[in-house]
Chains A and B, each alone.
Chain A
């Protein structure tokens, strides 16, 4: 059969074509048309069937999805109804809010009362929390993170409840926010308890701070007049008094000295309790601390007819990292205590150290006395505050009962333990342990025993030529005085590294004492220049660095720049002599000054240690240092004071004119010089402030504040020094007592 299309085509072209219906080609063409149309129909049909099939699949999927959704919503509803937390669900695009029954209950309203938009929720937040709620929701929407906040909800009954609101933001696959789901947990009780706790804590803290402040202020306010009383009493005792009055004055002196001791102890303890005491962590030699403590207190024991003996092997102690001053303080307290409560016999200090493989060392010290002992019923309480073994002992021996409490606090602060064994009437053994890390380097304290072994001085001190580089006028006077006391007469002082290089060019020196921080050229560079010049020759002049930087690594720095040894400022005379002894030979029975200082030490020690304890000692100047150097030479004292005050004024002027960032170099130099001077004269507070200033950031506000402190402290120092100047007529022994 001919295809209808071909049929039509043949008719249409009738007369113009020879193609006939019965032609074999016509059959093929018809078949091709037919095949083509059938294929097309087949494909269209397949497409239709497939569309229907896929559509049915889709409908099924949706129905299944809907069923699953309905099921999960049913479960959710059950969970929401059963939960103790309120749940709400905010559909963001259409602003529809759903609240779980529990949530409605928490808000105090029936479902009908809600319009079903997010403003319902905002409306239930108490007015004071509404801004917070808006900000919180905005933050949640912005960050799309789960967050929580505590909000005050206003209940229908007028009461307010605290509610922990946790919110989760749900987004679709394009990241658009679809819904926000929140839960409410009633935390009213918790908030109440928390606030109560906060109030209690704040009150307790405030009370504690007030107590500490009060104690610190009281102590401070008490010490100044007490010092005056003690000083004046001394003056009074120096005058001619009838025996009766002398007795009265002595009683005043004794009473006020005790009082001062109590005040100092209270101040120390309050500082420890307030956590204001920071332990140092520097390398030091325990043996040296033990030696110097025993040496210091030997005199005190001797005066009481007792012997103080150290039982330990100095070579057995490794260098450790810790706070040497605090260890020394603990030893001082325990030994002083032993001396105080022992009438006859001896005091022994036993010490040993055990080291484990990890480099941890445990120091154990025992102070054994043959004193009055402590009864077993009192043993436990001796370390408590304001407790003594017996109230009667207070009357007999004086003291505050704070000494052992402070000692225990210090030992525990260092991570150690303290205890006592005693038999009443036979004596006591106080012991303590402190753990340390061992080290190879020591920072500040000299290692005496090693140096003494190395000592091979060859130049007699009397003929030695010493060049001293020191820019501070007062320190110049001090060092000159020290040189004289060492029997050294050939010495010269220069003020800068440049000058030093100039003076060493054409003259031979046996030793150089080098201040590290000087104008024009510092000590490090000067030493380097010196060593460069010596290169290729056999010459090597010993250079001893004098630096106020008592920091770890300073010694290494000095040695690296070619210096031979190092001493930290303020200079310890004995130590300096030890160091110089490596190259010089001192005459055997020579130095009067050191002897005098040694004499002065026992009485001064208690005050010294106490001053170290306190971050800002009450006395502007620890005059002990001044008298250590000057002895009873009134002129020298006045010279030193004058030189110090003049230089310090200059330094403070410099500070005042270098507050801006550009002047920071100048500021640091002035601060350093002020620090050196203040340290030298014993103005510990001023020295500490100047140190702060030297390290301060180059910010004008910071510097201004520091300058104000420095100026105030300077006034105090000046006052104290002028007062000391007035006393120069009196013998040194009495004055040192006055500065306790």
Chain B
């Protein structure tokens, strides 16, 4: 497997500066919504990688090497020596279509030697968890699924995914990786800490939360945000919610509020908030989040095995982490780099990470995590 990762700074005149690869089968690109000349960028990619499918998404920040960036475009060109890839595309017009789209995409990719699906999806219209559930039902629980939802900085306005064209909203791209030569390992850790009392989700519908313990959830968030309450909805990302089924507290999952509805006095979450679940608020410190990122790298390395040297690390981290850490955000990337060593690292800050649950191993949508996928081919 051969990999070329390139970072492009739109404000600099030189634009895309990669060497190119005539046989690369797939190019992933992570494009900042602030990137000034996306059209020229895409044309440059097409020229440099003539044989490749170009699959990309908008971001809440880019990851390259040991740094977190903004207003850039990061590309990852992959040439597989033995394995091969297949790209399929879906379109979600309504949130409720998410599951069916996921099922259709995975079914289209399904084959005996299908090992891994990397998925990039619109981050606002699509329900990530429905999408993943649909995919699992389409290809079976044995195929590993990883990826992320497209981002829009901290604006939460418009996200997009593009295949061979510029990113468009409502799109989903799924790349199937086939062949026994592939070695893939995943690790996903948040590092956020539960605080305050347990609360029961007493009123919720879909991904909208109304009440906790019979009281307004929005009022609770406002109270906790204090001076930052006027920065809602963005500031709510700083207090994610850990939710778990009442009968199984170990199967907890993190959900991020990303919008509010003042009329309904409700919080809109990145994904489903089931009524009756138990919820606890979370908060993070820089140290905890950096530690979480390092932990994710350790898990991913362990998953591919200590003797195998992967060719690429794809990082999908959460935009909430980016907001939380500010100027210090690069320290989580540096921590990952330190553990992985000399290896191309590329990725983006997303509105939702997709990978197996660390406890149940079931593929699911996560929030507020650093999710790392290590890829390589056995000689």
Once the chains bind, are A43 and B283 in contact (CB under 8 Å)?
yes
Q: Does A5 contact B (CB under 8 A)?
A: no
Is residue A41 within 8 Å, beta carbon to beta carbon, of the partner chain? yes
CB pair A46–B224 under 8 Å, yes or no, is: yes
A42 in contact with B226 (CB, 8 Å):
yes
B residues in contact with A456, CB < 8 Å: none
Choose among A42, A53, A57 the residue that contacts B238 (Cβ–Cβ < 8 A): A42
**At the interface, yes or no: B326 with Cβ under 8 Å from chain A?**
yes
Q: Determine whether the beta carbon of A45 is less than 8 Å from that of B326.
A: no
Known: A31-B326, A32-B327, A43-B283. A38 touches B195 (CB 8 A): no
Residues of chain B from 196 to 232 with CB closer than 8 A to chain A in the complex: 196-197, 223-228
A424 CB–B CB distance under 8 Å: no
Secondary structure type dominating chain A contacts? helix
Task: Give bound CA distance, A28 to B328, whole Å.
Answer: 11
The residue that A46 contacts in the complex, of B195, B326, B327, B328, with Cβ under 8 A, is: B195
Is A78 part of the contact surface with B, judged by Cβ < 8 Å? no
A42 B228 Cβ-Cβ under 8 A: yes
Q: Mark A36-49, 1 if CB is under 8 A from B, else 0.
A: 00110111011001
> Interface size class for chain A?
10 to 19
User: Are B227's CB and A32's CB within 8 A?
Assistant: no
Say yes or no for A50: interface residue by CB 8 A criterion: yes
Chain B contacts for A43, CB-based, 8 A: 283, 285
A54 interface residue per 8 A CB criterion: yes
Within 8 A of B (CB), among A44-64: 45-46, 49-50, 53-54, 57
Q: A31-B326, A35-B327, A57-B197 are in contact. Are A49 and B228 (CB under 8 A)?
A: no
Q: CB within 8 A of B197: which of A35, A38, A45, A53?
A: A53
Could you tell me the distance between the alpha carbons of A57 and B199 in the complex, rounded to whole angstroms? 12
Q: In the complex, what residues of B have CB within 8 A of residue A49's CB? A: 223-224, 226
Q: Which residues of A contact B228 (CB under 8 A)?
A: 38, 42
Q: Could you tell me the distance in whole angstroms from the C-beta of A23 to the nearest C-beta in chain B?
A: 16
For the complex, give the distance between the alpha carbons of A32 and B328 in Å. 9
Q: Which residue from A38, A45, A54 sits with its C-beta under 8 Å from B224?
A: A45
- Mark contacts of B310-348 with chain A using CB atoms, 8 A cut-off: 1 yes-contact digit, 0 otherwise: 000000000000001011100000000000000000000
Complex alpha-carbon distance, A28 and B161, angstroms: 32
A49 to B238, CA, bound (A): 15
**Does the CB pair B327–A31 fall under 8 Å?**
yes
Q: Across the interface, do B195 and A50 meet the contact criterion of CB distance under 8 Å? A: yes
Q: How far, in whole Å, are A38 and B238 apart by their CA atoms in the complex?
A: 12
Return chain B residues, CB-CB under 8 Å to A39: 285, 324
In the complex formed, the residue of B with least CB distance to A54 is: B197
Most chain B CB within a 10 A radius of its CB, from A32, A38, A46: A46
* Shortest distance from the beta carbon of B231 to any chain A beta carbon, whole Å: 10
B227 partner, pick from A45, A50, A54, beta carbons under 8 A: A45
Most interface-central of B196, B197, B228 (chain A CB within 10 A): B196
User: Which residue of A38, A39, A53 has the most chain B CB atoms within 10 A of its CB atom?
Assistant: A39
10 further interface pairs, Cβ-Cβ under 8 Å (given A41-B226, A45-B224): A32-B326, A41-B227, A42-B238, A43-B283, A43-B285, A46-B283, A50-B224, A53-B197, A54-B197, A57-B197
Question: Interface of B with A (CB < 8 Å)?
Answer: 195-197, 223-228, 238-239, 283, 285, 324, 326-328
Q: Lowest 3 A-B CB distances belong to which pairs?
A: A35-B326, A45-B226, A50-B196
Of the A-B pairs whose beta carbons lie under 8 Å apart in the complex, a sample of 20, sorted by A's number, is A31-B327, A32-B326, A35-B327, A35-B328, A39-B285, A41-B227, A42-B225, A42-B226, A42-B238, A43-B283, A43-B285, A45-B226, A46-B195, A46-B239, A49-B223, A49-B224, A50-B195, A53-B197, A54-B197, A57-B197
